[in-house]
Each structure stands twice: as C-alpha cells, then as structure tokens.
A = this chain, B = another copy of it.
Amino acid sequence: MTETAVTGQKRDAEDAVHPFDEAIALDVVAEGWYVGRTHAAYANMVGPFGGVTAATMLRAVLDDPRRLGEALSLTVNYAGPVADGPFDILATPVRTNRSTQHWTITLTQDDVVTTTATAVFGVRRDTWSSTEVSMPAVPAADEVPVFKVPALVAWTRNYEMRYVEGALPDMDSEPQPDSTTTLWVRDFPARPLDVPALTALCDVFYPRVFRRRGTFVPAGTVSLTTYFHAGVEVVEEQSDQPILATARAADFGGGYFDQSARLWSGNGRLLATSHQLVYFKY
C-alpha cells in the first residue's frame, strides 16, 4: 500500500459520520416537525439508550431557525418504549421572551406519544460566577484502565469508560452502602464534545440500584432533567478528551429512586448537572 493510499484511508475515516451523529440525525418535514430513526448501535434493553433520545429531542430545537440562544435546561419524560424504526418529533417554541425561550417537544410513533420534553433556551450574559461544588479528586484519565464493557446492551460500546469508583457490578459483587459512581468517559470512537453529546453523557451511568444491591434488576429512567452550566464554547473547548462524570442516589423505595450527576471538563469546569427519577423492580 502506498503512502498516498494510507493517507487517503485516514482521511476517509476522519470524514466518516460518527455513529452518534447518525443516531441523532433528523430530517425536516415542516417547521418544527422532524423525522428521525433509532440506531442499532445505541440500542438499550428496550428501545434506544435514553441519553440518545434526550440528545435527539434537543437536536430538534438546535436545528430550528426559530431558536433563541443556547440550551439552559432540558427535561425528558420517558412515557413508553421507542420501537425500532422511524419516529416523529414535534418541537414548539411556546414562549419567546427577550432573552429566554421555552419549548415543548414530543416524540411520537404512529401518533402514540413515547416521550415528552420541555427545554429552556436563552442567552448567557456576563455575570458574577462561582462554582460552589468541588470536582472529585481523582487520578488522571490515562492512569485509569478502560472498563471492558460486557455485551449486555449495544449502546455502552459507544463510550470509553474508565471507572474511578463504583464500576458496574459483576457476578462477584456485593451490595454497597453508597451508590456513588465516578468515571472518566468519552464517546468511542473519540468525537469532539458538543451539547448533544454532553446531553447523552448525562445519562451514561448504569442504574444506581445495581450498585446498592450488587446485582442487576429491571430499571429504567422515568424523567431526566439536565442543567447546562457551561456555554457552548466551553463545552466545545473540551474537544475529544475524557470528561469526569459522577452520580449518586438520595432515596430508593416504592419502586423508584433518584440520581443526581455532575459532569466536569478535563480541566475542572462544571459542564452540567443532571437529575433523574428511575423506575426499578424488587
């Protein structure tokens, strides 16, 4: 193989669309109406990985010429499973103010609602700033081994995960008194971070109940809220380097538990905080 051929191959790989971008791609049908489709690489136990569904719903607003400013908050409610195949997204700017804009977003299949969302977009202004919480003290990403993901669900293979604490339980795991999981994580293959990828990463944690009980039980996110603290430029400065993600539950019972997460850039900027309510059995 000549050197030119090798260079050519490399350029093809660089130009190839990342599976994440394929998974969240939308075709415009009319103003605020999009068609997307599930992607085999991001399949979960039932339907697609919730993080990719959230990113796809945000994508609809990001693609809309009516959009004002950047994503500030996003709440996604997982009402029912998304079946393999195409889906419709309807995104409506229900209120546009001088500097903020409120959206409702609905994902349907054959006119049946599977997912609802609301998003707040807005213009960031230069104000007093302070990050009050601390990034966990952890070894550098390249000092932590890459976790070998078991072949349970497809989507986990699209992330390079380096667990600092609280790795996925295995056959030998015991119940734990604390549900905290902290990991260095990035898309795999590596892909420059943007707001949709960050949105998906907010849901990258396996269910906290697995860790507390030391085993797998049926579980699925019911509602997911993300607050975007960093502006788009700060998010994109991260490029394709690992980010630090940490999550913990407050309460389990009655068939539900919560999870609160913080996502940090490699150089210690708080990119997003995220909260979810999760259904579980047993």
Contact = CB atoms under 8 A, between A and B. Distances in A.
Interface of A: 72-73, 75, 77, 79-80, 94-95, 97, 99-100, 102, 104, 106, 112-114, 116-118, 120, 122-133, 178-179, 209, 212-213, 222-223, 225, 227, 229, 231, 248-256, 258, 260, 262, 270, 273, 275, 277, 279-282
A71 to B, nearest CB: 11
Contacts of A248: 132
Contact of A225 (B75, B95, B97): B75
A44 B118 CA distance: 25
- What is the interface of chain A mostly: helix, strand, loop, or mixed? strand
11 contacts: A75-B75, A75-B77, A94-B113, A95-B112, A118-B118, A128-B209, A128-B282, A131-B251, A227-B256, A227-B258, A229-B251
A47 B133 CA distance: 32
Given A73-B277, A225-B75, A258-B273, A252 B95 contact: no
Given A75-B225, A129-B254, A258-B273, A104 B102 contact: no
B252 A124 contact: no
A162 to B, nearest CB: 23
Nearest to A250: B133
Contacts of A256: 72, 122, 124, 227, 229
Contacts of A231: 254
**Number of this chain's copies in the complex:** 2
A130 B114 CA distance: 30
Contacts of A123: 255
Most buried by B among A113, A131, A250, A262: A250
Given A113-B95, A128-B282, A275-B275, A270 B251 contact: yes
Q: Which 7 A-B pairs have the closest CB atoms?
A: A129-B253, A124-B254, A79-B95, A79-B102, A125-B255, A75-B75, A229-B251
A26 B262 CA distance: 39
Contacts of A279: 100, 122
A13 B68 CA distance: 51
Contacts of A131: 250-253
A178 B73 CA distance: 23
Given A129-B253, A130-B251, 15 more contacts: A72-B256, A77-B118, A80-B95, A94-B113, A102-B116, A118-B118, A122-B256, A131-B253, A132-B178, A132-B251, A132-B252, A133-B251, A227-B258, A227-B277, A229-B250
Nearest to A262: B250
